[in-house]
Amino acid sequence: DTEGLLRIKEENQKHYRRAQRHQEKKEKIQRHNRRLGDLVEKKTYDLRTQYEHLAKLRRTHILELTSVIFPIEEVKTSMRDPADVSSESDNAMTSSTVSKLAEARRTTYLSGRWVCDDHNGDTSISITGPWITLPNNGDYSAYYNWVEEKKTTQGPDMEHNNPAHTISAALCYATQLVNTLSLILDVNLPKKLCNRQVNTRGESETSFGLNHEFCGENLSRHKFTRAVKKLNANILHLCFSQHVNLDLLHPLHTLRNLMYLVSPDTENLGR
């Protein structure tokens, strides 16, 4: 029994010494973890600082881009409310008729259905200059109506101020701006709208000179509508990535959504 007791004491001493070594190793690991935690916290702070600096640089580049090359502005129109004009011509008109006229003015027949648009007829959005605008309500029917008329009309097109040309140019510039913004913000777009330029030999070269989607050959109604939907989807995707106020966005307002995206009031622009 005495010999057995001695063996047990020796084993207990071994376990005690091993426990001490384990305790020292545990404390060493804890000190290492604390150092790693402090390092991770410092790196996280540095990374957050770099993100903020990068966001400021992106914001500066975007504001410079949209002020020098692609300015987007709201253009006021001189159209008067038909309800006001009618009420002036007929003093006996009831208030219900005036309200119905005002409601009709805010309603647009778009793509086979009636769409309510509070900005209809009041303003339009311009890009690169006040002469290149898009209808505020997203009704681009003037383009494919002009294309259908061109198919049946022979001879050169002499209408330099044709609204279809303005719509095509505005959508072309909007596509170029969206593709450039995606590069600056490092955001992958869900839809592909490429910019291509065709040289005299007919070879395709990657360039930002000419947008094949809108500024090339005349598009059919189906192709044009499909391209516009892709452009609107890309713009909304960028707006979502920059946390633009959802109450300001409308799926059909191409340039207005872009204007909200690149506005200096957008707090998270560049994130």
- For the record, the structure tokens of 234 come out as 């890309």
User: Does 75 map to a domain?
Assistant: no
Arithmetic mean of pLDDT, 39-50: 93
User: Does 90 map to a domain?
Assistant: no
User: Does 81 map to a domain?
Assistant: no
Q: pLDDT digits over 11-24, tens only? A: 999 999 999 999 99
Eight-class DSSP state of 120: T
User: Does 43 map to a domain?
Assistant: no
What pLDDT is recorded for position 130? 82
Please give the tally of structural domains in the chain: 1
What pLDDT is recorded for position 112? 54
Looking at residue 21, its amino acid is R
User: Does 163 map to a domain?
Assistant: yes
pTM of the entire predicted model: 0.67
Half-sphere exposure at residue 87, Cβ-oriented, CA atoms within 13 angstroms = 14
- Cβ atoms of 254 and 235 closer than 8 Å: yes
Q: At what angle do helices 163-185 and 141-152 cross, to 10 degrees?
A: 130
User: Does 222 map to a domain?
Assistant: yes
- Cβ atoms of 187 and 271 closer than 8 Å: no
- Cβ atoms of 238 and 259 closer than 8 Å: no
State which residues form the domain around 258: 61-70+135-197+208-262
User: Does 95 map to a domain?
Assistant: no
Integer Cα distance of 231 and 178 in angstroms: 8
Residue 39 has pLDDT above 70, yes or no: yes
User: Which strands, in side-by-side order, build the sheet including 72-76?
Assistant: 72-76, 123-127, 133-135
Arithmetic mean of pLDDT, 107-126: 58
Arithmetic mean of pLDDT, 28-37: 93
Residue 98 neighbours by CB distance under 10 Å: 17
User: Does 42 map to a domain?
Assistant: no
